[in-house]
Structure 1
Amino acid sequence: MSLAGDRLQETARQAALALPDISHGHPFTPKLDVYKVAGKVFLIVTDDPDEQIITVKCEPEHARALERGYASITPGRYLHRRHWISLGPGQGITKQLINDVVEHSYDLVLDGPPQSERPPRAPGPAAPALHRT
């Protein structure tokens, strides 16, 4: 049975709150309920009756497969559209699917390399350029 928007959001919240060591709040806007593990976002629940979606991290290949299989799964809003997907109410969006994508997102974020082991970012608008002397 497909979930309505409010049930989709509540299911995602319950799935996230059942996971260890999470925090959540509204750091960006009151309409975005953001869930984090180890200080990194793994779930965003949009608290807007006109846009009842959740956004989760997903491996790019898996994300594209989900987008092809479900009309209400789209590239993620708010974050990098290649690595995030948004799910809205629609045919085939079940409690089990929501639980699975929330847990998968949590695992991806938690298993990612620590900041100290990531390659350095190229200089650009979001990263200060190194000054040469």
Structure 2
Amino acid sequence: MNGPTLQRTAADCAEELPGAHLEHPFGPDWEVFKVRDKVFMLMTEVPGRPVVILKAEPREALALREHNSHITRGYHMNKKHWITLEGGDGIDKKLVRELVTESYRLVVAHLPKAEQPVDPDTYASATRASR
């Protein structure tokens, strides 16, 4: 998957998530997707190539980085809790959608219960089952 397709796939997935919205708080070069004012995905070409930056569980982030050279530590984010995806071999639409949904779910899980647009314990598995 090339960089522009990566970003389009990620954006399409993010736009489908309940309560998600797009902002540009850092200017036009950064697309920032939030749920209840908490960031779950960023997209930019600032590092010289199209990238998608997502939240990830630390152990999962490590495993992803070890198994795919197109997944690296979060660009300008906490290196333990965020990953950066760029286009390349091994990055397909299914993986991108899974990682975007997981990033969203991780952020929703840390919201107060009354503000959660979905149940983070069941949302990702229900979404996978419907595809």
Give the counterpart letter for 2:64 in structure 1.
L
Cα deviation code 1:87-108 (max 9, x no counterpart): 0011100000000000000000
Aligned-residue Cα RMSD (Å) equals 1.3
Rg (Cα) greater in structure: 1
Residue 111 (structure 1) aligns with: 109
> What is the TM-score with the length of structure 1 in the denominator?
0.80
Structure 1, unaligned runs of 5 or more: 115-133
| 1:47, distance to aligned residue in structure 2 (A) | 4.1
| 1:50, distance to aligned residue in structure 2 (A) | 2.8
| 1:5, distance to aligned residue in structure 2 (A) | 0.5
Q: Is the contact made by 1:12 and 1:54 (CA closer than 8 Å) also made in structure 2?
A: yes
Percent of matched pairs sharing the same residue: 39
Cα deviation code 1:27-66 (max 9, x no counterpart): 0121110000011000001145932110000000000000
SS at match of 2:11: helix
Give the counterpart letter for 1:98 in structure 2.
V
Structure 2, unaligned runs of 5 or more: 113-131
SS at match of 1:23: strand
Give the counterpart letter for 1:69 in structure 2.
H
Give the counterpart letter for 1:30 in structure 2.
P
Would you tell me which structure has more helix in proportion to its own residues? 2
2:58 to 45, 57, 60: 60
Runs of 4+ that moved beyond 6 A: none
> What is the TM-score with the length of structure 2 in the denominator?
0.81
State the number of aligned residues: 112
Residue 2 (structure 2) aligns with: 4
CA–CA distance in structure 1, aligned partners of residues 107 and 6 of structure 2: 21
Residue 29 (structure 2) aligns with: 31
Give the counterpart letter for 2:106 in structure 1.
L
